[in-house]
Structure 1
Amino acid sequence: MADGANGADRADEQERDGNEGTAGSPGVSATRPARARSAALWGLVGGFAFLVLAQGYLLVDGDLPFGYVGLFALAGTIVVASGGIAYATEYRLHAKRRT
């Protein structure tokens, strides 16, 4: 038999035995630390994207209704919100194999 066939046979045996496989397999839930790390990174992406857009607005228009302290406070809020949304919805996307 070819090596590829042995790998497929082992995967079939694991599936029949009820083994879930690794977290990277489609349809298998990610671990909590992996979901938390992914959500934190998505939160940082959202916060930095907001800061980049705000900086671009400042370069074009030059005025915001609040200062830099308010800008960073709003960016922090966006980090927490986007990270929370990513953590709450990631398992659904992974279960539907859309990640």
Structure 2
Amino acid sequence: MADDSVEGTTPPPGVPATPRARARSAALWGVGGGFAFLVLAQGYLLLDGDLPVGYAGLFAIAGAIAVASGGIAYAIEHRLHAKRRT
């Protein structure tokens, strides 16, 4: 049987994630959400759209979206994992 203390092994399904793993996952979801917003905004600008904010405003909004999506991901990940929907 594999030793769980060996680096690189994954725990079996149903075992709660560690706080560090949850934080890393939430941070990645946050980064993904912020970048997705920036990609959509850039696509809109490329299609000759005009946004009411400049680039500094876009980065501020992307930061807010990153924080919000990371916080939501951290808050609900343990619930989804408990229902085995991750």
TM-score by length of 2: 0.86
Corresponding residue number in structure 2 for 1:93: 80
Corresponding residue number in structure 2 for 1:44: 31
Count the aligned residue pairs. 79
Q: Which has the larger radius of gyration?
A: 1
Secondary structure, in 3 states, of the residue corresponding to 2:53? Answer: coil
1:90 and 1:30 map into 2 onto residues whose CA distance is: 9
Name which structure has the greater RCO, CA cutoff 8 Å, separation 6+: 2
Unaligned runs of 5+ in 1: 1-6, 8-21
Q: What amino acid is aligned across from residue 48 of structure 1 in structure 2? A: F
1:81, distance to aligned residue in structure 2 (A): 0.1
- Using the aligned pairs only, state the percent identity: 78
Deviations 1:15-47 (A, max 9, x none): xxxxxxx86322211000000000000000000
Q: Which aligned segments of 4 or more residues in structure 1 are displaced greater than 3 angstroms?
A: none
TM-score by length of 1: 0.75
What is the root-mean-square deviation in Å for CA atoms of aligned residues?
1.5
1:31 paired to 2:18: yes
